[in-house]
Structure 1
Protein backbone atom coordinates (compact mmCIF):
# COMPACT_ATOMS: atom_id res chain seq x y z
CA UNK A 1 0.00 0.00 0.00
CA UNK A 2 1.50 3.38 -1.00
CA UNK A 3 1.85 6.38 1.32
CA UNK A 4 -1.21 8.30 0.01
CA UNK A 5 -3.36 5.21 0.62
CA UNK A 6 -1.98 4.83 4.13
CA UNK A 7 -2.69 8.48 4.97
CA UNK A 8 -6.18 8.19 3.52
CA UNK A 9 -6.84 5.06 5.53
CA UNK A 10 -5.78 6.86 8.70
CA UNK A 11 -8.23 9.64 7.89
CA UNK A 12 -10.95 7.11 7.17
CA UNK A 13 -10.23 5.29 10.40
CA UNK A 14 -10.98 8.51 12.23
CA UNK A 15 -14.37 8.49 10.52
CA UNK A 16 -14.98 4.86 11.57
CA UNK A 17 -15.01 3.62 7.98
CA UNK A 18 -12.98 0.67 6.76
CA UNK A 19 -9.72 1.19 4.89
CA UNK A 20 -10.95 -1.20 2.22
CA UNK A 21 -13.90 1.07 1.51
CA UNK A 22 -11.82 4.13 0.66
CA UNK A 23 -9.46 2.25 -1.61
CA UNK A 24 -12.59 0.73 -3.13
CA UNK A 25 -13.72 4.02 -4.38
CA UNK A 26 -13.35 6.31 -7.26
CA UNK A 27 -13.97 7.32 -10.85
CA UNK A 28 -10.89 7.13 -13.08
CA UNK A 29 -10.70 8.53 -16.61
CA UNK A 30 -14.04 10.32 -16.35
CA UNK A 31 -15.19 13.91 -16.68
CA UNK A 32 -17.29 16.47 -14.87
CA UNK A 33 -20.88 16.42 -16.16
CA UNK A 34 -23.00 19.56 -16.46
CA UNK A 35 -23.84 20.77 -12.94
CA UNK A 36 -26.92 19.04 -11.49
CA UNK A 37 -27.51 16.97 -14.62
CA UNK A 38 -27.29 13.76 -12.55
CA UNK A 39 -30.04 14.49 -10.06
CA UNK A 40 -30.60 11.09 -8.43
CA UNK A 41 -27.12 10.76 -6.91
CA UNK A 42 -26.51 11.61 -3.25
CA UNK A 43 -23.38 12.12 -1.21
CA UNK A 44 -23.16 10.04 1.97
CA UNK A 45 -21.06 11.98 4.43
CA UNK A 46 -19.80 11.76 7.99
CA UNK A 47 -21.37 14.19 10.42
CA UNK A 48 -18.19 16.26 9.95
CA UNK A 49 -19.11 16.79 6.31
CA UNK A 50 -16.57 14.35 4.83
CA UNK A 51 -17.87 12.52 1.74
CA UNK A 52 -17.13 8.79 1.86
CA UNK A 53 -19.80 7.01 -0.21
CA UNK A 54 -22.31 7.59 -2.95
CA UNK A 55 -25.92 6.52 -3.19
CA UNK A 56 -29.05 6.91 -5.29
CA UNK A 57 -32.52 8.22 -4.51
CA UNK A 58 -35.08 5.57 -5.42
CA UNK A 59 -37.97 7.00 -3.38
CA UNK A 60 -38.52 10.26 -1.51
CA UNK A 61 -37.68 8.39 1.72
CA UNK A 62 -35.14 5.85 0.47
CA UNK A 63 -31.51 5.77 -0.70
CA UNK A 64 -29.85 2.77 -2.36
CA UNK A 65 -26.15 2.20 -1.65
CA UNK A 66 -23.61 -0.52 -0.83
CA UNK A 67 -23.69 -2.55 2.38
CA UNK A 68 -19.99 -1.90 2.97
CA UNK A 69 -20.81 1.81 3.35
CA UNK A 70 -22.41 1.38 6.76
CA UNK A 71 -20.72 3.16 9.70
CA UNK A 72 -23.73 3.62 11.96
CA UNK A 73 -26.93 5.60 11.65
CA UNK A 74 -25.79 8.30 14.09
CA UNK A 75 -22.54 8.94 12.23
CA UNK A 76 -23.76 9.89 8.76
CA UNK A 77 -25.88 12.37 6.86
CA UNK A 78 -27.25 12.25 3.33
CA UNK A 79 -26.85 15.20 0.96
CA UNK A 80 -29.07 15.43 -2.12
CA UNK A 81 -28.80 18.12 -4.79
CA UNK A 82 -25.03 18.34 -4.42
CA UNK A 83 -22.52 18.95 -7.21
CA UNK A 84 -19.44 20.26 -5.45
CA UNK A 85 -18.85 18.57 -2.09
CA UNK A 86 -16.27 21.19 -1.12
CA UNK A 87 -18.62 24.18 -1.07
CA UNK A 88 -22.20 25.13 -0.24
CA UNK A 89 -24.15 25.89 -3.42
CA UNK A 90 -27.63 26.49 -2.05
CA UNK A 91 -29.08 23.52 -3.94
CA UNK A 92 -28.33 20.93 -1.28
CA UNK A 93 -30.85 19.14 0.90
CA UNK A 94 -29.51 17.55 4.09
CA UNK A 95 -31.04 14.48 5.72
CA UNK A 96 -30.51 12.36 8.80
CA UNK A 97 -31.03 8.63 8.29
CA UNK A 98 -33.59 6.80 10.36
CA UNK A 99 -32.50 3.27 9.43
CA UNK A 100 -29.61 1.52 7.69
CA UNK A 101 -30.74 -1.82 6.29
CA UNK A 102 -27.92 -3.88 4.73
CA UNK A 103 -28.95 -7.03 2.93
CA UNK A 104 -29.00 -9.92 5.44
CA UNK A 105 -26.87 -12.08 3.14
CA UNK A 106 -24.10 -9.50 2.70
CA UNK A 107 -20.72 -11.22 2.94
CA UNK A 108 -17.68 -9.03 3.69
CA UNK A 109 -15.30 -11.68 2.38
CA UNK A 110 -16.94 -12.48 -0.97
CA UNK A 111 -18.68 -9.08 -1.37
CA UNK A 112 -21.86 -10.93 -2.31
CA UNK A 113 -25.12 -9.05 -1.64
CA UNK A 114 -23.24 -5.77 -1.18
CA UNK A 115 -26.40 -3.67 -1.15
CA UNK A 116 -28.12 -1.53 1.48
CA UNK A 117 -31.17 0.67 1.88
CA UNK A 118 -31.16 3.86 3.94
CA UNK A 119 -34.48 5.22 5.19
CA UNK A 120 -34.52 8.96 5.72
CA UNK A 121 -36.28 10.62 8.65
CA UNK A 122 -37.86 13.19 6.33
CA UNK A 123 -38.73 13.04 2.61
CA UNK A 124 -36.63 14.71 -0.05
CA UNK A 125 -38.14 17.60 -1.97
CA UNK A 126 -38.11 16.83 -5.69
CA UNK A 127 -37.13 19.81 -7.82
CA UNK A 128 -34.82 20.80 -10.69
CA UNK A 129 -31.79 19.60 -8.69
CA UNK A 130 -33.14 16.41 -7.08
CA UNK A 131 -34.99 13.48 -8.67
CA UNK A 132 -35.66 9.78 -8.22
CA UNK A 133 -34.11 7.07 -10.39
CA UNK A 134 -36.08 3.97 -11.46
CA UNK A 135 -34.87 0.41 -10.91
CA UNK A 136 -34.92 -2.59 -13.26
CA UNK A 137 -37.46 -5.34 -12.74
CA UNK A 138 -36.51 -8.49 -10.84
CA UNK A 139 -33.89 -10.54 -12.74
CA UNK A 140 -33.75 -8.11 -15.68
CA UNK A 141 -30.40 -8.12 -17.45
CA UNK A 142 -28.37 -5.71 -19.53
CA UNK A 143 -26.56 -6.91 -22.65
CA UNK A 144 -22.80 -7.32 -22.92
CA UNK A 145 -21.24 -4.23 -24.47
CA UNK A 146 -24.07 -1.91 -23.45
CA UNK A 147 -22.70 1.44 -22.28
CA UNK A 148 -23.69 2.37 -18.74
CA UNK A 149 -22.90 5.44 -16.66
CA UNK A 150 -21.21 5.41 -13.26
CA UNK A 151 -20.84 8.61 -11.24
CA UNK A 152 -19.26 9.76 -8.01
CA UNK A 153 -16.99 12.10 -6.10
CA UNK A 154 -14.02 9.75 -5.97
CA UNK A 155 -10.35 9.85 -6.92
CA UNK A 156 -9.55 10.61 -10.54
CA UNK A 157 -6.30 8.63 -10.61
CA UNK A 158 -5.54 4.97 -9.96
CA UNK A 159 -2.66 6.10 -7.73
CA UNK A 160 -4.98 8.10 -5.46
CA UNK A 161 -4.44 11.82 -5.12
CA UNK A 162 -7.00 14.46 -4.28
CA UNK A 163 -10.71 13.79 -4.15
CA UNK A 164 -12.31 16.08 -6.77
CA UNK A 165 -14.67 18.72 -5.45
CA UNK A 166 -17.22 18.28 -8.24
CA UNK A 167 -19.08 15.19 -9.38
CA UNK A 168 -17.39 13.00 -12.00
CA UNK A 169 -18.89 10.47 -14.39
CA UNK A 170 -17.81 7.96 -17.03
CA UNK A 171 -19.53 5.54 -19.40
CA UNK A 172 -18.39 1.92 -19.35
CA UNK A 173 -19.41 -1.17 -21.35
CA UNK A 174 -20.90 -4.20 -19.62
CA UNK A 175 -18.51 -7.16 -19.53
CA UNK A 176 -19.90 -10.69 -19.64
CA UNK A 177 -19.80 -12.72 -16.45
CA UNK A 178 -17.92 -15.46 -18.31
CA UNK A 179 -15.13 -13.07 -19.30
CA UNK A 180 -15.04 -11.40 -15.89
CA UNK A 181 -14.87 -14.79 -14.19
CA UNK A 182 -12.14 -16.20 -16.42
CA UNK A 183 -8.79 -17.36 -15.06
CA UNK A 184 -7.22 -14.23 -16.57
CA UNK A 185 -9.50 -11.99 -14.56
CA UNK A 186 -11.46 -12.66 -11.34
CA UNK A 187 -11.08 -16.42 -11.60
CA UNK A 188 -14.54 -17.50 -10.43
CA UNK A 189 -15.10 -14.84 -7.75
CA UNK A 190 -17.94 -13.11 -9.60
CA UNK A 191 -21.29 -14.40 -8.33
CA UNK A 192 -24.61 -14.34 -10.17
CA UNK A 193 -25.49 -11.29 -8.05
CA UNK A 194 -22.74 -9.14 -9.60
CA UNK A 195 -22.20 -7.19 -12.83
CA UNK A 196 -18.85 -6.27 -14.39
CA UNK A 197 -18.23 -3.14 -16.44
CA UNK A 198 -15.08 -1.70 -17.99
CA UNK A 199 -12.91 -1.45 -21.10
CA UNK A 200 -10.49 -4.17 -22.17
CA UNK A 201 -7.73 -1.54 -22.26
CA UNK A 202 -8.54 -0.28 -18.78
CA UNK A 203 -7.86 3.44 -18.17
CA UNK A 204 -11.51 4.29 -17.52
CA UNK A 205 -13.09 2.69 -14.50
CA UNK A 206 -14.99 3.11 -11.27
CA UNK A 207 -12.04 1.31 -9.70
CA UNK A 208 -13.17 -0.98 -6.91
CA UNK A 209 -16.17 1.27 -6.59
CA UNK A 210 -17.12 4.78 -5.85
CA UNK A 211 -18.62 3.06 -2.90
CA UNK A 212 -22.38 2.74 -3.22
CA UNK A 213 -22.67 4.89 -6.34
CA UNK A 214 -25.04 4.07 -9.22
CA UNK A 215 -24.34 2.24 -12.47
CA UNK A 216 -27.14 3.42 -14.74
CA UNK A 217 -28.03 1.48 -17.88
CA UNK A 218 -30.95 2.35 -20.15
CA UNK A 219 -32.14 4.93 -17.62
CA UNK A 220 -32.31 2.52 -14.68
CA UNK A 221 -29.96 1.72 -11.81
CA UNK A 222 -28.67 -1.73 -12.73
CA UNK A 223 -25.61 -1.67 -10.49
CA UNK A 224 -24.25 -0.43 -7.18
CA UNK A 225 -20.50 0.18 -7.13
CA UNK A 226 -19.06 -2.62 -4.98
CA UNK A 227 -15.47 -3.83 -5.46
CA UNK A 228 -12.63 -4.69 -7.82
CA UNK A 229 -8.93 -5.41 -8.14
CA UNK A 230 -6.58 -2.51 -8.59
CA UNK A 231 -7.85 0.58 -10.40
CA UNK A 232 -8.57 0.91 -14.12
CA UNK A 233 -6.60 -2.29 -14.72
CA UNK A 234 -7.09 -3.84 -18.17
CA UNK A 235 -7.50 -7.31 -16.67
CA UNK A 236 -10.00 -6.39 -13.97
CA UNK A 237 -13.24 -4.52 -14.74
CA UNK A 238 -15.14 -2.83 -11.94
CA UNK A 239 -17.62 -5.04 -10.09
CA UNK A 240 -21.13 -3.89 -9.18
CA UNK A 241 -23.96 -5.41 -7.20
CA UNK A 242 -26.68 -6.46 -9.65
CA UNK A 243 -29.70 -4.46 -8.48
CA UNK A 244 -32.20 -6.54 -10.47
CA UNK A 245 -31.33 -9.55 -8.32
CA UNK A 246 -32.59 -7.64 -5.27
CA UNK A 247 -35.62 -5.79 -6.64
CA UNK A 248 -38.11 -7.90 -4.69
CA UNK A 249 -36.11 -7.43 -1.49
CA UNK A 250 -35.96 -3.67 -2.06
CA UNK A 251 -39.70 -3.39 -2.63
CA UNK A 252 -40.50 -5.64 0.33
CA UNK A 253 -38.37 -3.55 2.70
CA UNK A 254 -39.75 -0.23 1.51
CA UNK A 255 -43.34 -1.43 1.57
CA UNK A 256 -42.99 -2.81 5.08
CA UNK A 257 -41.74 0.54 6.42
CA UNK A 258 -43.56 3.00 4.22
CA UNK A 259 -46.32 1.28 2.28
CA UNK A 260 -44.88 2.20 -1.11
CA UNK A 261 -42.39 0.61 -3.48
CA UNK A 262 -39.61 2.15 -5.55
CA UNK A 263 -40.26 4.14 -8.68
CA UNK A 264 -40.81 1.92 -11.72
Structure 2
Protein backbone atom coordinates (compact mmCIF):
# COMPACT_ATOMS: atom_id res chain seq x y z
CA UNK A 1 0.00 0.00 0.00
CA UNK A 2 1.27 3.52 -0.42
CA UNK A 3 3.33 4.23 2.40
CA UNK A 4 5.11 6.71 4.12
CA UNK A 5 6.49 6.59 7.47
CA UNK A 6 5.48 8.64 10.45
CA UNK A 7 7.00 11.54 12.24
CA UNK A 8 6.56 11.88 15.94
CA UNK A 9 8.35 13.57 18.75
CA UNK A 10 8.27 16.19 21.44
CA UNK A 11 10.85 18.94 21.83
CA UNK A 12 13.22 17.46 19.28
CA UNK A 13 12.14 14.69 16.97
CA UNK A 14 13.20 13.01 13.77
CA UNK A 15 11.07 13.01 10.70
CA UNK A 16 11.42 9.90 8.63
CA UNK A 17 9.94 10.15 5.17
CA UNK A 18 10.11 6.87 3.34
CA UNK A 19 9.58 7.82 -0.28
CA UNK A 20 9.04 5.42 -3.16
CA UNK A 21 9.45 6.55 -6.72
CA UNK A 22 8.00 4.21 -9.33
CA UNK A 23 9.21 4.07 -12.89
CA UNK A 24 7.16 1.82 -15.19
CA UNK A 25 9.10 0.77 -18.25
CA UNK A 26 5.83 -0.48 -19.69
CA UNK A 27 2.47 -1.57 -18.29
CA UNK A 28 3.94 -4.77 -16.89
CA UNK A 29 7.49 -3.94 -15.78
CA UNK A 30 8.07 -1.47 -12.99
CA UNK A 31 10.99 -0.54 -10.81
CA UNK A 32 10.85 1.06 -7.42
CA UNK A 33 13.59 3.13 -5.84
CA UNK A 34 13.65 4.05 -2.18
CA UNK A 35 15.02 7.11 -0.47
CA UNK A 36 14.92 7.88 3.22
CA UNK A 37 15.27 11.40 4.51
CA UNK A 38 15.78 12.38 8.13
CA UNK A 39 15.27 15.92 9.38
CA UNK A 40 14.69 17.55 12.73
CA UNK A 41 11.48 19.15 13.88
CA UNK A 42 10.38 20.94 16.99
CA UNK A 43 6.75 19.92 16.65
CA UNK A 44 5.11 17.05 18.47
CA UNK A 45 3.14 15.38 15.73
CA UNK A 46 2.26 12.07 14.15
CA UNK A 47 1.89 12.31 10.40
CA UNK A 48 1.38 9.97 7.48
CA UNK A 49 2.88 10.64 4.09
CA UNK A 50 1.28 8.77 1.21
CA UNK A 51 3.63 7.94 -1.61
CA UNK A 52 3.43 8.80 -5.23
CA UNK A 53 2.85 5.16 -5.98
CA UNK A 54 -0.06 2.77 -6.02
CA UNK A 55 -1.00 -0.28 -4.04
CA UNK A 56 -0.99 -4.03 -4.51
CA UNK A 57 -2.90 -7.14 -3.46
CA UNK A 58 -0.67 -9.48 -1.45
CA UNK A 59 -1.77 -13.11 -0.99
CA UNK A 60 -5.12 -12.55 -2.66
CA UNK A 61 -6.54 -14.49 -5.61
CA UNK A 62 -7.46 -13.91 -9.23
CA UNK A 63 -10.87 -12.26 -9.34
CA UNK A 64 -13.48 -14.13 -11.38
CA UNK A 65 -13.32 -12.53 -14.82
CA UNK A 66 -15.28 -9.23 -14.94
CA UNK A 67 -16.75 -9.83 -11.48
CA UNK A 68 -15.81 -6.26 -10.50
CA UNK A 69 -17.27 -4.35 -13.47
CA UNK A 70 -16.73 -0.95 -11.78
CA UNK A 71 -12.99 -1.58 -11.43
CA UNK A 72 -10.79 0.81 -13.38
CA UNK A 73 -7.12 1.55 -13.50
CA UNK A 74 -5.46 4.85 -14.22
CA UNK A 75 -2.43 5.49 -16.37
CA UNK A 76 -0.30 8.59 -16.68
CA UNK A 77 1.85 8.99 -19.78
CA UNK A 78 1.00 5.35 -20.62
CA UNK A 79 2.39 4.12 -17.29
CA UNK A 80 0.37 2.08 -14.83
CA UNK A 81 -0.53 4.31 -11.91
CA UNK A 82 -3.56 3.78 -9.64
CA UNK A 83 -6.95 2.16 -9.28
CA UNK A 84 -10.39 3.80 -9.43
CA UNK A 85 -14.08 2.89 -9.27
CA UNK A 86 -16.79 3.86 -11.77
CA UNK A 87 -19.86 5.50 -10.15
CA UNK A 88 -21.81 6.62 -13.23
CA UNK A 89 -21.31 6.99 -16.99
CA UNK A 90 -19.18 10.13 -16.58
CA UNK A 91 -17.52 9.90 -13.16
CA UNK A 92 -15.15 7.75 -11.11
CA UNK A 93 -13.71 8.01 -7.62
CA UNK A 94 -10.07 7.47 -6.69
CA UNK A 95 -7.55 8.67 -4.10
CA UNK A 96 -6.45 12.31 -4.12
CA UNK A 97 -2.81 11.27 -3.91
CA UNK A 98 -3.27 9.60 -7.32
CA UNK A 99 -3.76 12.99 -8.97
CA UNK A 100 -1.72 13.75 -12.08
CA UNK A 101 -2.31 16.50 -14.66
CA UNK A 102 -2.60 13.88 -17.39
CA UNK A 103 -4.61 10.74 -16.66
CA UNK A 104 -6.41 8.10 -18.70
CA UNK A 105 -9.01 5.60 -17.47
CA UNK A 106 -9.08 1.93 -18.47
CA UNK A 107 -12.33 0.00 -17.94
CA UNK A 108 -13.55 -3.48 -18.84
CA UNK A 109 -10.11 -4.97 -18.20
CA UNK A 110 -9.18 -8.29 -16.63
CA UNK A 111 -5.93 -9.49 -18.19
CA UNK A 112 -3.81 -6.46 -19.01
CA UNK A 113 -1.53 -8.48 -21.29
CA UNK A 114 -4.38 -9.40 -23.64
CA UNK A 115 -6.72 -7.52 -25.93
CA UNK A 116 -10.00 -8.97 -24.64
CA UNK A 117 -12.45 -6.92 -26.68
CA UNK A 118 -14.21 -5.63 -23.56
CA UNK A 119 -11.94 -2.67 -22.87
CA UNK A 120 -12.83 1.01 -22.98
CA UNK A 121 -9.97 3.51 -22.70
CA UNK A 122 -11.05 7.11 -22.10
CA UNK A 123 -9.05 10.23 -21.34
CA UNK A 124 -9.81 12.30 -18.26
CA UNK A 125 -11.46 15.70 -18.70
CA UNK A 126 -10.84 16.80 -15.12
CA UNK A 127 -9.72 15.36 -11.80
CA UNK A 128 -10.99 17.14 -8.67
CA UNK A 129 -9.29 16.49 -5.35
CA UNK A 130 -11.34 16.96 -2.19
CA UNK A 131 -10.67 20.51 -0.92
CA UNK A 132 -9.79 19.15 2.51
CA UNK A 133 -7.13 16.78 1.22
CA UNK A 134 -3.80 17.02 3.02
CA UNK A 135 -0.74 15.31 1.50
CA UNK A 136 0.89 15.54 4.94
CA UNK A 137 -1.75 13.63 6.88
CA UNK A 138 -3.57 11.84 4.01
CA UNK A 139 -6.84 13.18 5.41
CA UNK A 140 -9.64 13.40 2.83
CA UNK A 141 -7.66 11.26 0.37
CA UNK A 142 -10.57 11.31 -2.06
CA UNK A 143 -10.86 12.46 -5.67
CA UNK A 144 -13.50 12.63 -8.38
CA UNK A 145 -12.59 12.01 -12.02
CA UNK A 146 -14.71 13.14 -14.97
CA UNK A 147 -14.26 11.48 -18.34
CA UNK A 148 -14.00 13.24 -21.70
CA UNK A 149 -16.87 11.11 -22.98
CA UNK A 150 -19.39 8.82 -21.28
CA UNK A 151 -18.77 5.13 -20.71
CA UNK A 152 -20.88 2.65 -22.65
CA UNK A 153 -22.34 0.29 -20.05
CA UNK A 154 -22.42 -3.42 -20.86
CA UNK A 155 -21.94 -6.76 -19.12
CA UNK A 156 -18.26 -5.92 -18.51
CA UNK A 157 -18.60 -2.32 -17.34
CA UNK A 158 -21.10 -1.21 -14.69
CA UNK A 159 -21.08 1.48 -11.98
CA UNK A 160 -21.09 0.85 -8.26
CA UNK A 161 -23.25 2.65 -5.72
CA UNK A 162 -21.60 4.86 -3.12
CA UNK A 163 -22.28 3.88 0.47
CA UNK A 164 -25.06 5.92 2.10
CA UNK A 165 -24.10 4.73 5.57
CA UNK A 166 -20.79 3.62 7.01
CA UNK A 167 -20.12 -0.10 7.35
CA UNK A 168 -19.68 -1.39 10.92
CA UNK A 169 -16.58 -3.11 12.24
CA UNK A 170 -16.55 -6.77 11.32
CA UNK A 171 -18.07 -6.22 7.87
CA UNK A 172 -16.51 -8.50 5.27
CA UNK A 173 -15.39 -6.57 2.21
CA UNK A 174 -13.47 -7.08 -1.01
CA UNK A 175 -10.54 -5.01 -2.24
CA UNK A 176 -9.28 -5.41 -5.80
CA UNK A 177 -6.52 -4.15 -8.07
CA UNK A 178 -3.55 -4.87 -10.30
CA UNK A 179 -0.99 -3.81 -7.70
CA UNK A 180 2.23 -5.51 -6.69
CA UNK A 181 1.98 -9.12 -5.51
CA UNK A 182 5.14 -9.34 -3.40
CA UNK A 183 6.27 -7.81 -0.12
CA UNK A 184 10.01 -7.79 -0.80
CA UNK A 185 10.14 -7.43 -4.59
CA UNK A 186 8.26 -5.93 -7.52
CA UNK A 187 5.89 -8.30 -9.33
CA UNK A 188 2.86 -6.72 -10.97
CA UNK A 189 0.15 -9.13 -12.13
CA UNK A 190 -1.47 -9.35 -15.53
CA UNK A 191 -4.87 -10.30 -14.10
CA UNK A 192 -7.07 -8.49 -11.59
CA UNK A 193 -6.50 -9.60 -8.00
CA UNK A 194 -9.07 -9.76 -5.18
CA UNK A 195 -8.80 -10.08 -1.41
CA UNK A 196 -11.49 -10.46 1.26
CA UNK A 197 -10.77 -8.27 4.28
CA UNK A 198 -12.72 -7.36 7.43
CA UNK A 199 -13.28 -3.78 8.56
CA UNK A 200 -11.50 -3.27 11.87
CA UNK A 201 -12.81 -1.31 14.83
CA UNK A 202 -11.79 2.32 15.26
CA UNK A 203 -10.02 1.33 18.48
CA UNK A 204 -7.92 -1.30 16.70
CA UNK A 205 -7.15 1.11 13.86
CA UNK A 206 -6.01 3.85 16.24
CA UNK A 207 -3.99 1.35 18.25
CA UNK A 208 -2.10 0.50 15.06
CA UNK A 209 -1.55 4.07 13.86
CA UNK A 210 -1.95 6.28 16.95
CA UNK A 211 -2.92 9.86 16.06
CA UNK A 212 -2.64 9.37 12.30
CA UNK A 213 -6.22 8.12 11.90
CA UNK A 214 -8.86 10.78 11.26
CA UNK A 215 -12.64 10.53 11.12
CA UNK A 216 -12.34 10.22 7.33
CA UNK A 217 -10.34 6.99 7.50
CA UNK A 218 -10.87 3.39 8.56
CA UNK A 219 -8.73 0.27 8.66
CA UNK A 220 -9.41 -3.05 6.98
CA UNK A 221 -7.26 -6.15 6.93
CA UNK A 222 -5.47 -8.50 9.27
CA UNK A 223 -3.50 -7.49 12.34
CA UNK A 224 -1.34 -10.59 11.95
CA UNK A 225 -0.23 -9.32 8.53
CA UNK A 226 0.42 -11.43 5.45
CA UNK A 227 -2.53 -10.20 3.36
CA UNK A 228 -3.02 -6.63 2.17
CA UNK A 229 -3.30 -4.17 -0.68
CA UNK A 230 -0.11 -2.37 -1.74
CA UNK A 231 1.78 -0.48 -4.51
CA UNK A 232 -0.49 -0.33 -7.53
CA UNK A 233 -3.88 -0.54 -5.79
CA UNK A 234 -4.15 3.03 -4.46
CA UNK A 235 -7.43 4.68 -5.33
CA UNK A 236 -9.06 1.32 -5.93
CA UNK A 237 -12.36 0.10 -4.47
CA UNK A 238 -13.18 -1.61 -1.18
CA UNK A 239 -16.68 -3.04 -1.63
CA UNK A 240 -18.93 -4.25 1.19
CA UNK A 241 -22.36 -5.79 0.52
CA UNK A 242 -22.32 -4.48 -3.04
CA UNK A 243 -21.60 -0.82 -2.25
CA UNK A 244 -18.40 1.22 -2.30
CA UNK A 245 -17.28 1.79 1.30
CA UNK A 246 -13.57 2.51 0.92
CA UNK A 247 -10.88 3.89 -1.36
CA UNK A 248 -7.40 2.40 -0.96
CA UNK A 249 -5.32 5.14 0.65
CA UNK A 250 -2.20 4.29 2.67
CA UNK A 251 -0.50 1.99 5.16
CA UNK A 252 2.77 1.14 6.86
CA UNK A 253 4.49 -0.89 4.14
CA UNK A 254 2.41 -3.84 2.90
CA UNK A 255 1.00 -6.87 4.69
CA UNK A 256 2.96 -5.95 7.82
CA UNK A 257 1.81 -7.23 11.22
CA UNK A 258 -0.04 -4.63 13.32
CA UNK A 259 -0.26 -2.31 10.29
CA UNK A 260 -3.53 -2.90 8.41
CA UNK A 261 -4.53 -1.06 5.26
CA UNK A 262 -6.06 2.40 5.65
CA UNK A 263 -8.97 3.50 3.46
CA UNK A 264 -10.79 6.75 2.77
CA UNK A 265 -14.29 6.52 4.27
CA UNK A 266 -16.63 6.89 1.29
CA UNK A 267 -19.78 7.37 3.39
CA UNK A 268 -18.44 10.78 4.48
CA UNK A 269 -18.37 12.18 0.95
CA UNK A 270 -21.87 11.78 -0.49
CA UNK A 271 -22.80 15.46 -0.14
CA UNK A 272 -19.53 16.61 -1.71
CA UNK A 273 -19.86 14.14 -4.59
CA UNK A 274 -23.40 15.33 -5.31
CA UNK A 275 -22.27 18.96 -5.20
CA UNK A 276 -19.34 18.47 -7.58
CA UNK A 277 -21.27 16.36 -10.07
CA UNK A 278 -24.11 18.88 -10.00
CA UNK A 279 -21.74 21.75 -10.83
CA UNK A 280 -19.73 19.92 -13.49
TM-score with structure 1 length normalisation? 0.86
State the match for 1:166 in structure 2: 191
State the match for 1:35 in structure 2: 65
Is 1:87 the counterpart of 2:114? The answer is: yes
Q: Give the conservation status (yes or no) of the 8 Å contact 2:21–2:52.
A: no
State the match for 1:125 in structure 2: 152
When Rg is computed on C-alpha atoms for both structures, the one with the higher figure is: 2
The secondary structure found in structure 2 opposite 1:187 is helix
Structure with greater proportional helix content: 1
Q: Give the conservation status (yes or no) of the 8 Å contact 2:178–2:232.
A: no
Which portions of structure 1, spanning 4 or more consecutive aligned residues, are displaced by more than 6 angstroms? none
Distance in 1 of aligned mates of 2:252 and 2:230: 8
State the match for 1:113 in structure 2: 140
Gaps of 5+ in 1: 258-264
The secondary structure found in structure 1 opposite 2:211 is coil
1:143-158 equivalences under 5 Å are 143-158=168-183
| 1:10–1:53 distance in 2 versus 1, CA, 3 Å | closer
State the match for 2:47 in structure 1: none
Q: Give the conservation status (yes or no) of the 8 Å contact 2:134–2:140.
A: yes
Gaps of 5+ in 2: 4-17, 35-50
Matched positions, count: 243
Distance in 2 of aligned mates of 1:243 and 1:209: 20
Q: Give the conservation status (yes or no) of the 8 Å contact 2:24–2:80.
A: no
Q: 1:97 aligns with which of 121, 124, 128?
A: 124
Is 1:64 the counterpart of 2:96? The answer is: no
- How far the C-alpha of 1:25 sits from its partner, in A, is 1.1
Structure with greater proportional strand content: 2
State the match for 1:261 in structure 2: none
1:1-264 equivalences under 5 Å are 9=21, 11=23, 20-22=51-53, 24-48=54-78, 50-72=79-101, 75-137=102-164, 140-182=165-207, 185-207=208-230, 210-257=233-280
Distance in 1 of aligned mates of 2:206 and 2:123: 39
- How far the C-alpha of 1:10 sits from its partner, in A, is 5.2
> For each residue in 1:17-69, what CA deviation from the matched residue of structure 2 results, as whole angstroms up to 9, or x when unmatched?
x98232x5111110001111110001111232x22100000010001000001
- How far the C-alpha of 1:209 sits from its partner, in A, is 7.2
Distance in 1 of aligned mates of 2:269 and 2:25: 30
Distance in 2 of aligned mates of 1:243 and 1:192: 11
